[in-house]
Amino acid sequence: MRSRLSSARFAAPATVIFTIAVLTLGVGYLAKSPCLRTFTDSAGELQLDWRGARQYRSFCYSDIVPLYGAERLDRDGLGGFPYAVSWVDGAGTPAQQLRYMEYPVLTGLFQWGNAQIAKQFSSPGPLAGVRFFQSSAFWLSLAWLLTIWALIRLSPGRPWDPLLAALSPLVAVHAFTNFDTLAIAAAVLGLLAWSRRRPGLAGMLLGVGGALKLFPLFLLLPLVLLCVRAGRFRDGVRLTLLAVGTWAVVNAPIAILFPDGWAEFLRLNSRRGIDPDSIYNVFDQLTGWNGFDGALAPGEVPSVLNLFSAALFLLACVGIAWIAFAAPRRPRVAQLAFLTVCTFLLVNKVWSPQFSLWLIPLAVLAIPRWKPLLAWMAVDALVWFPRMLFYLGPEQGGWSIQPFLGVVVARDLAVLALCLLVVRDIWAPGRDPLRGDGSDDPHGGVLDQAPDRLVLGDLGRTARA
């Protein structure tokens, strides 16, 4: 009887949360729908209706729509197979370069598969691009609902916490901006497997996530650090080997058969300059600074910027490692995972708006506090609107860059504030909402209730003795 009552109490919040998650995804689809409109031109041809910069005026821009043609997914059969097909951008200009599919392997194959589906339901042309978006949106929605399910399973003692993810305004704005919900689902499923004391499966899921988007592999850092502190070396090694091995198995066929196409993701990211949403661009715009590398030729690698950004992230990882070993009580997995991904976004040269989706499930698990999380998500979602108006430009009725930069700074400060909340909870576990009742780490798996084996304070006392 008690088990049935407990299941009923769990099912009621889950039903509400899934319903709200579906509604939020519906709002997200409607927000992108103005960019799916078509019109018939003077030649009688059907065209995608982005006249008058509709994608910016209506705030409906999505990478998915133009990628159908830009990544040559509109080519038939194996002629459009990602990583095999190449094309020339900027032909005849100083910016001319040979291009391939720019996404990690599983995301590229996902796009190609959806393109095949789209072609079955429409004739070639703009309508196929619309069908490509719709097919992608269906699978991206399922991935997000799978994320919500995993969050519910990760929160048995706090059944309403996943509602924060389900109703997030960031989801309404960015669920269909790119393909990030796929990697997010793999990452959160990996954390769920870890919490169920299955480090091997967790590693495989994180490896799959890394083949979709790089960030799930960052979760290895906090998990391995905490394994070292708890003396669970075998679990940490197994997790890491299976994550890296899975990533390698997925990537190997493409890397061997199409090495140039496979390397495009790495090549393109090394060549990218500062992103409009990055702190480097804020500093550049407000000070007139010309960047670490000065003026670069088209396609030239910003090597100093790359080195500086990587060094900052490495320093942040060292700081996270110090927290992992110096905290008076072992930090929770979600706390260090959140800090790791936050620091990457803050110091990276690229913070695409949809990257903020990565933080939602980690924030819900690390800081289940409604007011600060909703405040951050609202500010972060707000970045999109001055960004679109900046792209529109004042000459077309848009805005200058200053309002956009102001919201970016507010977003960064909000994320920093959440990081400080996490660090405070780590050093004062009694203030942690998940540890106030004496619990250790409900997401810790083999780490939950495990005794410490390696703590910096203990090392200092041993050395003095």
Tens-place pLDDT, residues 215-232: 999 999 999 999 999 999
Give the phi and the psi of residue 271 in degrees, each rounded to 5.
-85, -15
* Mean pLDDT score of the chain: 92
CA angle centred on 285, ends 283 and 289, rounded to 5°? 65
Cβ pair 341, 180 in contact under 8 A: no
Q: Give DSSP secondary structure letters for 129-148.
A: HHHHHHHHHHHHHHHHHHHH
Query: Mean pLDDT, to the nearest integer, of 346-358?
Result: 98
Q: Residue 4 above 50 pLDDT?
A: yes
Whole-angstrom CA distances from 201 to 81, 176, 235, 451 are 30, 28, 11, 24
Q: What share of the chain has pLDDT > 70, as a percent?
A: 94
Whole-angstrom CA distances from 292 to 87, 276, 280, 346 are 31, 16, 10, 17
pTM, full prediction: 0.95
Beta-bridged to residue 46, according to DSSP, are: 40
Beta-bridged to residue 89, according to DSSP, are: 97
Cβ pair 445, 195 in contact under 8 A: yes
pLDDT at 437: 73
pLDDT at 118: 86
Q: Residue 151 above 50 pLDDT?
A: yes
Domain boundaries, the chain: 2-464
The model's confidence at residue 461, banded by pLDDT at 50, 70 and 90, is: very low
CA distance 106 to 114: 12
Query: Mean pLDDT, to the nearest integer, of 99-127?
Result: 88
CA distance 372 to 322: 26
pLDDT tens column, 48-65? 999 999 999 999 999 999
